[in-house]
Structure 1
Amino acid sequence: LEESLGFTLFERHSRGVRLTEKGIQLQQATQLHFSELGKLLDDLRVEKHINEVRLKLTPSFAFKWLVPKLESFQLENPEIQVQIFAEGALVNSDLKDYDVAIDYGLHPYRDHDAELILDEQLLPVMSPKYLEDHRWLKTPFGDQTSSMSVNQWQAATLLHDAMPWEKATRDYEWLYWASAMGLDFKTDVGHFFNRTDMAMSAA
């Protein structure tokens, strides 16, 4: 492009490149046109896939909640194709490469266009064997003495969804639950997973 134009667009340095003054002028003159071109291409793609829904969500939510419901959705809506993009532990809703994003986070959500579809309740879960090996867990909280409960919970193996939502601390859910139950024990211990389904399987 520089050879065709007959002038330099970039200043090249050992640490990278930056636009020259003429390069900046060219960028400013073309930026709006490229933006309009990108929007047009997006609109054309939407027309091409008018019967397609692109969903973006976390792998854990897709695996545990969405996938089991796909068959019944397909039977009721045979003309609609579903594309599922299961990202990492967190959903990047800033990149608008989807029709619907399903994310998990605090309310109100950071995106003002978001709609609440589900509430949740936090409570400890465990395998029947772990419960049998730790029979004190069967005792109602009201019947436990404070010191006994704190000491026993401190010795319990805590499993964490370490990335429940953006900017959450890795022990946030256990910390929140302990605080709500009036228990003061160290929660930043145990095993940490970057996916909810892994923590559930470990339990």
Structure 2
Amino acid sequence: MKRGRLPLTALRTFEAAGRLASFTLAADELAVSQAAVSRQVKELEAELGKPLFERRHRSVRLTPDGQALLDVLSRSFDAMDAGLAEIRGRRGGGVLEISAEPSFAACWLVPHLDDFQSDHPEIDVVVQSDGRLIEFRRHEAEIAIRHGADASAWPRVQAERLAEVEMVPVVMPCLAEDGPPLNAPADLLAYTLLHEENRSAWHRWFAAAGLPDASLGRAQIFTEGNLVLQAALRGHGVALVDRSFAADDIAEGRLVQPFALSIPFGAYWLVARDFKRLSPEARAFRTWLLDRMAAKGGDGV
């Protein structure tokens, strides 16, 4: 097919639908209707004479031909976007956009960002607090900080380990002093426990403490770790949080850690499309962040 006859709109629409595995999400990304996405995909399938998706109840799945086409298109669109960005210099002018997990952004990045900007006053930093997977295309951040078990969680990008996450129990000193004595891990069961997303982390902590069958009583459950930490600082109960997030509050006496026991909880990663092609601003931030983590033994404090 001659390049002048390539169905570029249909290819772009198919690439979004295949990458996101959803016509609805593709419509949101492209700012068109779901019907428009479906129509473009059908026209492309008619042009090729082969189905690209298996249509299921409320879901779609790529066929082998669809997956093969998606692989080619994703690489091509990524390369085009990177080339345009390089020519346009869209991140020039001393502006750096960072996408960070909400908890990391609130509990670590914001408290330490002045250190970076005192070293680089010429760089304006834009922090996007967002946990979703981004593709590092136009109008998205150039570099991201994400939480996960390993680097395989993010396809088609590069990832560097920043810090291991260790979860520890913390509580306000006055709550611990006025409440039931905390002499052994089982004593925490007399308190309201603060959870992130679900009760699984606390179950793991009690299992590590030798109480695998502990019955967790009163609870408050939050969607983000920074909300769990804020609830602990307001005396709502005992929180299980990332040690590095609570380090300043423990050091300054706002929280206490009643027991030394911690449990591993994945790691934070620095993620980018290609570390070799970062802007000067992003390279400076990457160097600062890696140096900061290395200086503290990777604990992020």
TM-score normalised according to structure 2 size: 0.47
Please say if 1:182 is aligned against 2:225.
Answer: no
Q: CA deviation at 1:187?
A: 4.2
Amino acid at match of 1:55: I
Runs of 5+ consecutive residues of structure 2 not aligned to the other structure: 11-34, 50-68, 233-301
Q: Distance in 1 between matches of 2:169 and 2:152?
A: 25
Runs of 5+ consecutive residues of structure 1 not aligned to the other structure: 142-148, 163-169
Amino acid at match of 1:171: R
Q: Distance in 1 between matches of 2:128 and 2:172?
A: 31
- Per the alignment, in what secondary structure is the counterpart of residue 163 of structure 2? coil
Change (3 A) 1:161 1:135: same
1:10-89 map, 5 Å: 17=39, 18-19=42-43, 22-24=46-48, 35=77, 37-45=80-88, 47-50=89-92, 51-87=94-130
- Per the alignment, in what secondary structure is the counterpart of residue 127 of structure 2? strand
Please say if 1:114 is aligned against 2:167.
Answer: no
- Per the alignment, in what secondary structure is the counterpart of residue 98 of structure 1? coil
Q: How many residues align?
A: 167
Q: CA deviation at 1:134?
A: 2.5
Change (3 A) 1:104 1:127: same
Q: Which structure is richer in relative contact order (CA contacts within 8 A, separation 6 or more)?
A: 2
Question: Is the CA contact (8 Å cut-off) linking 1:158 and 1:191 kept in structure 2?
Answer: yes
* Map of 2:201 onto structure 1: 173
- Per the alignment, in what secondary structure is the counterpart of residue 115 of structure 1? strand
Match of 1:191 among 195, 200, 220: 220
Question: Is the CA contact (8 Å cut-off) linking 1:93 and 1:101 kept in structure 2?
Answer: no
Q: CA deviation at 1:84?
A: 0.9
1:114-193 map, 5 Å: 114-137=159-182, 139-140=183-184, 149=186, 152-162=187-197, 170-183=198-211, 184-187=213-216, 190-193=219-222
Q: Distance in 2 between matches of 1:158 and 1:22?
A: 57
Q: CA deviation at 1:75?
A: 2.0
Q: Could you say what the CA RMSD is over the residues aligned between the two structures, in angstroms?
A: 3.4
Q: Distance in 2 between matches of 1:71 and 1:123?
A: 27
Q: Distance in 2 between matches of 1:154 and 1:107?
A: 32
Question: Is the CA contact (8 Å cut-off) linking 1:153 and 1:185 kept in structure 2?
Answer: no
Deviations 1:81-104 (A, max 9, x none): 2221111xxx22342232221122
Deviations 1:97-150 (A, max 9, x none): 32221122224662483222222322211122321233321x145xxxxxxx3x
- Per the alignment, in what secondary structure is the counterpart of residue 124 of structure 1? strand
Question: Is the CA contact (8 Å cut-off) linking 2:180 and 2:190 kept in structure 1?
Answer: no
Question: Is the CA contact (8 Å cut-off) linking 2:151 and 2:160 kept in structure 1?
Answer: no
Identity of aligned residues (%): 26
Change (3 A) 1:133 1:107: farther
* Map of 1:146 onto structure 2: none
Amino acid at match of 1:81: D
1 or 2, which has the higher strand percentage? Answer: 2
Change (3 A) 1:21 1:75: closer
Question: Is the CA contact (8 Å cut-off) linking 1:53 and 1:80 kept in structure 2?
Answer: yes
Change (3 A) 1:105 1:20: closer
Computing the radius of gyration over CA atoms, which structure comes out larger, 1 or 2?
A: 1
Q: Distance in 2 between matches of 1:122 and 1:156?
A: 18
TM-score normalised according to structure 1 size: 0.66
